[in-house]
Structure 1
């Protein structure tokens, strides 16, 4: 027995000795810049061993318990070039101090806040930046769908039949959000609703978001904020990129990007997006499609020309064709526009041309231009809507630095032609002739960015526009920025004015459905607003993590706000300027946490959006008081696998009801859409990915008897009306309703799986 105990003890001591010897190696040191400045938060990792360390406030790092052998170490830090070195571990400590070289190309450069490139941390205007890699954590066929995990930004579905929508920022309706491509105001008017689809994501470099009015630089529509979609430069793009995926609902999406080198000085980048869904589904059994059927193709081409003195010259063009329909399950194209079977069918043709040209002068003069045409042929039941919109935009800016002043001034001109078959462009005469709307909007703006010292910066600006229909419009703004000496703390305060000229028939889908009569009480006047934002950014470093916090308080006051009144008469949508005021106020917080192989991005927004008229306070329709988003990613580096868990959650929203006896909820419940995504990297060129969307299987029909009112009688043939035009309660209509598809606030597409392949060749 003693011999047995001796042998066991000896074996355990030998194993422990071997284990200790195999894990006693370590490497440690300090990370600095060439100037000797300490670099805090740098990442040091040995990917094969899954070992990771973050440099602390003194620039110190340490990797412990390293097995014997030769290992490759990689060091990364924001604004510095990557550094690689090899170490040989035996059973000793290795002292390795590291000097990282600056790489200014790695700093986040933004353009949306001030209309000129600058490092994000130096911008007096808070700009949120989301890279192409962020959107790959939850693959989506359109930019519209991809924005659903960004804090304070919500894609809103406006119709349960044709699924058109817009993008809301901080609770403000879609028309208050300006969408740009490479700084050009391409998406506006009609395309606020329909033009967000078909932007090839294979060409996406990043998305910049500015929350709050930007009318001083961008004019009308940039009241609630702007979304700037930045495409890749041909010089930085891969020669070929392909992204294909399909879902269990039989949706198919293809993104293809191709770089062409025409000559030593001319490079071209082409992209194609194709989306097809032709599988009618009716899971809620109301005889209407749960998801609109779509067939879309978009072609994008961008050209860069190298010129003397590195002057800019870029051209780009895009063409989009889309055929979408939703309606009763037995609808066919032969029923289009008829009264036998209800369907909503939309044909969209859209082309765009835009460019940037730096004039050949010593001074920095930049000319930007765009022209686009949007043609739409649509029917909503038996109601046709035929529209043609053409927009010409031109802008010349001059940038001059003088001492502490960085001046930017510009001349802008926008011409808008709009024609449709509604009362919006009808001239009331005996012959009822058509009268297209033609709006000329010249403007001039100037801003001065003043560097008071290394910690304080002031931005002041003013814009004057002359609207050919509404006259003079002034929009000033002022921004102040303070940062601590180590730039770990940044405070921004902004006050600005915004304005918007509304066109109901290009912005509000409900006005087109034919389900309600559109009524204008008076001529609509431009809306104006004043906005105040306070933004604070804090960077924290711990021994193993980097934490970025971004908090914002916002307040917007509206005068002359145009609100669609669904409440006064359930059979009408009444439009008028508010005889009172409206307010959007709230707070948001973003947290970005990175440590080891894990990254967590969290966001939450609490807000109150309401209008007040005749001492009556009314909460805005389709606006939640709380929303939250998250993206959690973990990388298994040793096997090349990444797992992403994304989602959002929304609080109750007030919804439009048709009568006092309408059995549907006046307020939506709390709801959430959550997704899981796995990506496996196969060598350097190929990735495969798969996942599940909407794992909770949430749809808006849960908890309500129906979402489309009287879906069995979409032409109101069996509805009886009283002398005032109100629907009467009858045996066949016990709730006194009419057909209405506008009870929409979230997705009606349930759980689904997806699988995709990405191929990139440099």
Structure 2
């Protein structure tokens, strides 16, 4: 029976982040032009602008919260058709495939599962929990201006679902975007991706960005000869329209809409549409319809007051073999905040409201009588306050507090503390402490277990999942001649309590929900190194050590987190030849990680060390054209035996003592890496500025 690991959660989040453009930055940021004459380096050359860590745009060096920034050009070094695949280039962030058949997955930060990661678009919680599994692949890279990553709990800023970290996808500004950009890419596996974006002005004070993305992969490929597709077939269309307005005194205003349709299939090679939902030929077929609206408006007052809003609609129609799963989720969000600078204090306060509607065809949304359908409707109110105090040029202190009220869990309190010490432009130390929480909907992380008739049983009054986190970050910028070698090191420790889990094993006729009687730990350290040599070579290397586990009351043994390798890392080398010719060598490596094995499983419980490497050669021309080509999965790595009993996907012989003495069942969750082998790609871009 097929399993998909994901959790539907109530999003209770307020988003301090806001869309940033060149005009608003002029309003908030003054470049630090401190100069060290010996090295001939100005700090203005090493400043980055961030908005995810705190409410207003600020330089990275002045932010008391550690924020990592990645531009669109960074991800173009390994071109991919979606953000889900591209984000693997970030050290400590892992796109995890949760199903070896339909290839759905989620994003892990520091080893924590996808539901603990909040994903924003332009600072808004537009990527709702259901779509963290089924909607991430629909965000094309063509929309991205940059991506900001905050690792560690951020519930005091963003509310529920931000226990593991935040990924903020900041889209291009229509006022400054190119007039036209086109990107065509294909691969030797017949993966075809088309991006088209055009910008047009409406009068003198408004501009609109219209983007179309189409991805098609329709060729059934089975290189490992298990009669199942190695990669899920997909047809995906995404339409995005964003409006930016130029107003007096550089006040901000924007409005955006996006529509996504995806048809995804994985399964036996002989499957066709007529087999959808049947018990004859196994296939996993998922239709996704998704619409989003979000915007921002700064009030026309002397005071800095901003209102943000978002709405998303996610409809899914799917079959996993003969088991149907149909779900509908609607999330509305609004917040208004006020910011005021009083001397050295930058005060921000505001209120938020979020309403989540969720319904599906499983017992997870049945009422207590087990008969009546009872969709989840969850309004959550929140209020927050934050004080960023710039004590002096070397010390900045941030203190914040957030209050949320949910009808099930009632009051939730989230304090926050951050301190930055920077004795000079080359050394910066940041310490962050705070709490996180996750308000969980009583909905399983295992859809297959809900396709039968089960009674939902709540053992006690559930408490929200809580976490306490400490994070220490140190950045050292080392002058090497006229250049800088940058070291970025972090150590983190998070303690989780009250984790809500669904027990499907105690009673086969029941789903028993309860808080975990024990605790969880996520701890580790990471290091990033960036350097550009005097010759045209730049290097970015990252390594992360993780120890993520749970410990149960009365037991000394700890349970290691699934799909959380002890060691992982990234590498990125770029060499620029004359005549605008560039070679990029990128990749990730992963140490052994614990895998979900079955009882008496013949497959190893831990994966081997492996690396996914890519190489790209690109050449740009003055006319605006760029041609690129390369190889993906250069070392040709794929997992061994990702499917258990692929020859019996409907478990017809599960009790046969001769052919199946261990009573193995068909299982798709063992796969830990893509099944796509080495392949080439070719693409062409055109940009009209």
TM-score > 0.5, shorter chain as reference: yes
Structure 1 residues 632 and 626: CA distance shift in structure 2, 3 A: same
Q: Is contact 2:363-2:455 (8 Å) kept?
A: no
Q: Is contact 1:570-1:657 (8 Å) kept?
A: no
Q: Is contact 2:117-2:167 (8 Å) kept?
A: yes
Q: Aligned partners of 1:592 and 1:517: how far apart in 2?
A: 53
- Asked whether 1:462 is paired with 2:407, we answer no
> Map of 1:190-205 to 2, 5 A cutoff?
190-205=130-145
Structure 1 residues 141 and 737: CA distance shift in structure 2, 3 A: same
- Offset of 1:262 from its aligned partner? 1.2
Q: Aligned partners of 2:193 and 2:102: how far apart in 1?
A: 19
In structure 2, the residue matched to 1:745 is: 672
- Asked whether 1:233 is paired with 2:173, we answer yes
Q: Aligned partners of 1:588 and 1:648: how far apart in 2?
A: 14
From 340, 346, 355, the equivalent of 1:415 is: 355
Give 5+ residue unaligned stretches, structure 1.
Answer: 1-33, 41-55, 60-76, 81-105, 721-728
SS of equivalent residue, structure 2 residue 126: strand
> Map of 1:50-61 to 2, 5 A cutoff?
56-57=38-39
- Offset of 1:709 from its aligned partner? 1.2
In structure 2, the residue matched to 1:592 is: 530
My pick for the range that moved more, 272-281 or 709-718, is: 709-718
SS of equivalent residue, structure 2 residue 175: helix
In structure 1, the residue matched to 2:429 is: 491
Q: 1:154-173 deviations in whole A, cap 9, x for unaligned?
A: 00000011100000000000
> Map of 1:230-309 to 2, 5 A cutoff?
230-309=170-249
In structure 2, the residue matched to 1:622 is: 563
> Map of 1:474-489 to 2, 5 A cutoff?
474-485=413-424, 487-489=425-427
Q: Is contact 1:505-1:511 (8 Å) kept?
A: no
SS of equivalent residue, structure 2 residue 136: coil
Q: Aligned partners of 1:576 and 1:171: how far apart in 2?
A: 23
Q: Aligned partners of 2:455 and 2:679: how far apart in 1?
A: 38
CA RMSD of aligned residues (A): 2.3
Q: Aligned partners of 1:153 and 1:35: how far apart in 2?
A: 31
Q: Is contact 1:159-1:510 (8 Å) kept?
A: no
My pick for the range that moved more, 706-715 or 167-176, is: 706-715
Aligned length: 655
Q: Is contact 1:418-1:437 (8 Å) kept?
A: yes
In structure 2, the residue matched to 1:451 is: 390
- Asked whether 1:734 is paired with 2:672, we answer no
- Offset of 1:311 from its aligned partner? 1.5
Q: Aligned partners of 2:635 and 2:617: how far apart in 1?
A: 18
Q: 1:358-405 deviations in whole A, cap 9, x for unaligned?
A: 112211100000011100001111111111100000000100000110
| Larger Rg over CA atoms | 1
SS of equivalent residue, structure 2 residue 496: strand
SS of equivalent residue, structure 1 residue 79: helix
> Map of 1:334-373 to 2, 5 A cutoff?
334-373=274-313
> Map of 1:426-437 to 2, 5 A cutoff?
426-429=366-369, 432-437=371-376
In structure 1, the residue matched to 2:614 is: 675
Structure 1 residues 313 and 408: CA distance shift in structure 2, 3 A: same
TM-score normalized by structure 2?
Answer: 0.91
In structure 1, the residue matched to 2:58 is: 118
My pick for the range that moved more, 564-573 or 220-229, is: 564-573
Structure 1 residues 470 and 256: CA distance shift in structure 2, 3 A: same
- Offset of 1:699 from its aligned partner? 0.6
In structure 1, the residue matched to 2:626 is: 687
In structure 1, the residue matched to 2:44 is: 79
Q: 1:627-648 deviations in whole A, cap 9, x for unaligned?
A: 0111000100x22100000011
Q: Is contact 1:630-1:648 (8 Å) kept?
A: yes
From 608, 611, 620, the equivalent of 2:547 is: 608
My pick for the range that moved more, 192-201 or 624-633, is: 192-201
RCO greater where, 1 or 2, for CA within 8 Å and sep 6 or more?
Answer: 2
Q: Aligned partners of 2:626 and 2:345: how far apart in 1?
A: 48
Structure 1 residues 678 and 513: CA distance shift in structure 2, 3 A: farther
Q: Is contact 1:178-1:226 (8 Å) kept?
A: yes
In structure 2, the residue matched to 1:30 is: none
Q: 1:169-202 deviations in whole A, cap 9, x for unaligned?
A: 0000000000000000011211111121222322
SS of equivalent residue, structure 1 residue 126: coil
From 686, 695, 698, the equivalent of 2:637 is: 698
Q: 1:65-110 deviations in whole A, cap 9, x for unaligned?
A: xxxxxxxxxxxx6636xxxxxxxxxxxxxxxxxxxxxxxxx94211
Q: Is contact 1:646-1:676 (8 Å) kept?
A: yes
Q: 1:113-139 deviations in whole A, cap 9, x for unaligned?
A: 012111111000000000000001000
Structure 1 residues 568 and 488: CA distance shift in structure 2, 3 A: farther
From 123, 139, 158, the equivalent of 2:98 is: 158
Give 5+ residue unaligned stretches, structure 2.
Answer: 1-30
My pick for the range that moved more, 129-138 or 420-429, is: 420-429
- Offset of 1:544 from its aligned partner? 5.6
